[in-house]
Amino acid sequence: MRLNSFLKLTPEYRDYVWGGDRLRPGHHPTAEAWVVWEGDRIEGGELAGKTLGEAASQFGIELLGSRVYARTQGRFPLLVKLLDCAQWLSLQVHPNDKQAVELEGAGQFGKTEAWHILDAQPNSKLIAGLKPGTSADVLADAIRNGTVEGLSQYVSVAPGDTVFMPAGTLHALGPGLLVYEVQQSSDLTFRVYDWGRPQTATRRLHIEKSIQVTRPDFTSTVLPMPNCGDGTSDELIRCDYFTLELLSASSHSIELDTKNETFHAVTVIEGEARLQAGDEDVELEKFQTALIPASVGRYQLFPLEKCKALKASG
């Protein structure tokens, strides 16, 4: 079986209470579309029906790239989501790699993530860390007493903003936001506070684990949209786990290269685009994603109309 040049993925959806109707009209509430995930199915080609995780295990370094494979030994390392926030998400925190194993068991990844704001209603806000000077003892008391929201640092955001969220940062997305999120391949979330919503079997608070994981000194900075040209690639975030870039094209193509070091995951966020490598290509509409295996090397993005896309790599 041959590894396709481009792997088009079918997203999976999550229907949480805070979701809206922008990701899947007619299905309310739809909170999240998991557009790049080891459980997503591949569309078309010889790998049709296989999950991305199965393909990563089968093709290893050819799909993941030399740099990523050395770190994950065959597991696909990232999860990319689109989030439609009609209400406040829970105030929450994620563990780092060491804490994930200690608290949840062997084989768990931590969860460092980044957000790119796709759309925002006027005066939209999110929570990104705690007010300066908050001590660990004060934080612990507030988490146990259900008053931690009063210590939280609110930040205004607009379309095009990017926020880096290291593991250990208390955070929450607010109403009116449509967000692209790239993160480690982990769904470990410790809920600290849920705005008075009743706890259920699948939606509990994690008080003591949150206290162990939350860093009172962590806050995050909002990075504004770069001045994008035509046919350009602008780096938004780079960390130990992923790099996120904004691709902008209206009449000029963009030359891209995996260098056999890492896969690329390209999600169109405005307009339409065509990816081409040799005699193989794939067309992507808004919010569609293709996974480019590391073995592809050089390829091009052509705008079918003025387009923007986000490219995540490991």
Q: Find, among 181, 203, 197, the residue nearest to 87 by Cα.
A: 197
Phi–psi pair at 125, nearest 5 degrees: -135, 165
In the predicted structure, residue 26 carries a pLDDT above the cut 90:
no
Would residue 1 count as lying in a domain? no
Predicted pLDDT of residue 75:
93
* Token couple for 27: 């299905």
Nearest-Å Rg of the Cα atoms of the chain is: 19
Tell me, yes or no, whether 213 and 306 share the same domain: no
Mean of per-residue pLDDT scores for the chain:
96
Give the mean model confidence (pLDDT) for residues 121-130: 96
Would residue 65 count as lying in a domain? yes
Work out how many domains the chain is built from and give that number.
2
Tell me, yes or no, whether 63 and 199 share the same domain: yes
Q: Find, among 310, 174, 149, 300, the residue nearest to 242 by Cα.
A: 310
Tell me, yes or no, whether 216 and 306 share the same domain: no
* Token couple for 291: 């996974």
Give the mean model confidence (pLDDT) for residues 176-190: 96
Give the mean model confidence (pLDDT) for residues 129-155: 97
Q: From CA 293, how far away is CA 245, in angstroms rounded?
A: 17
Tell me, yes or no, whether 36 and 110 share the same domain: yes
| Domain boundary pick from 223, 248, 274 | 223
- What is the pLDDT confidence band of residue 241, given thresholds at 50, 70 and 90? very high
Tell me, yes or no, whether 183 and 237 share the same domain: no
Tell me, yes or no, whether 196 and 238 share the same domain: no
In the predicted structure, residue 126 carries a pLDDT above the cut 80:
yes
Would residue 261 count as lying in a domain? yes
Predicted pLDDT of residue 202:
86
Q: From CA 208, how far away is CA 126, in angstroms rounded?
A: 24
Would residue 2 count as lying in a domain? no
Predicted pLDDT of residue 1:
74
Q: Find, among 312, 293, 291, 310, the residue nearest to 249 by Cα.
A: 310
Percent of all residues in the chain with a pLDDT value above 70, rounded to a whole number? 100
Are the C-beta atoms of residues 119 and 178 closer than 8 Å to each other?
yes
H-helix or E-strand spanning residue 193: strand 190-193
Give the mean model confidence (pLDDT) for residues 247-266: 97
- Which structural domain, as residue segments, surrounds residue 83? 7-223
Predicted pLDDT of residue 237:
97
- What is the pLDDT confidence band of residue 15, given thresholds at 50, 70 and 90? very high
| Domain boundary pick from 190, 223, 256 | 223
- What is the pLDDT confidence band of residue 171, given thresholds at 50, 70 and 90? very high
- What is the pLDDT confidence band of residue 281, given thresholds at 50, 70 and 90? very high
| Domain boundary pick from 223, 250, 270 | 223
Tell me, yes or no, whether 172 and 263 share the same domain: no
Say whether 125 sits in a helix, a strand or coil.
Answer: strand
Tell me, yes or no, whether 140 and 92 share the same domain: yes
Tell me, yes or no, whether 242 and 218 share the same domain: no
Q: From CA 196, how far away is CA 20, in angstroms rounded?
A: 19
Tell me, yes or no, whether 207 and 159 share the same domain: yes
- What is the pLDDT confidence band of residue 173, given thresholds at 50, 70 and 90? very high
**DSSP characters for 197-239?**
PPPBTTB---HHHHHHH--TT-B-PEEPPP---TTEEEEEEE-
Answer whether the bond into residue 29 is a cis peptide, omega within 30°.
Answer: yes
Would residue 308 count as lying in a domain? yes
Predicted pLDDT of residue 161:
97
Give the mean model confidence (pLDDT) for residues 260-277: 98
In the predicted structure, residue 73 carries a pLDDT above the cut 90:
no
In the predicted structure, residue 276 carries a pLDDT above the cut 80:
yes
Predicted pLDDT of residue 201:
87
Q: From CA 164, how far away is CA 243, in angstroms rounded?
A: 11
Predicted pLDDT of residue 283:
97
Tell me, yes or no, whether 32 and 151 share the same domain: yes
